[in-house]
Amino acid sequence: MCARCDEPITPEQGYDVVRNDGASGAGAEMYWHKGYCKPVPHQTSQVEPYSWYQPRPPRRR
């Protein structure tokens, strides 16, 4: 799987190995298509802001 576009890499396609050294762990090896592939879009804003937050009702005296 290509780490940039999340598409499978077939045996005919070339790929580059990119090493990502971890600061406190063993790190990882990622595989990218040779040349350019379209990166996966990233979510930039929240769909429902703070949907888990429910304000408390006022206290009775």
Mean pLDDT estimate for the chain: 78
Percentage of residues of the chain with pLDDT beyond 90: 0
DSSP string of 1-58?
Answer: --TTT--PPPTTS-EEEEEE--SSS--EEEEEESS--PPPP---S-SSTTTT--PPPP
Distance CA 1, CA 15 (A): 10
17-37 pLDDT, tens digit per residue, is 988 887 677 778 888 888 878
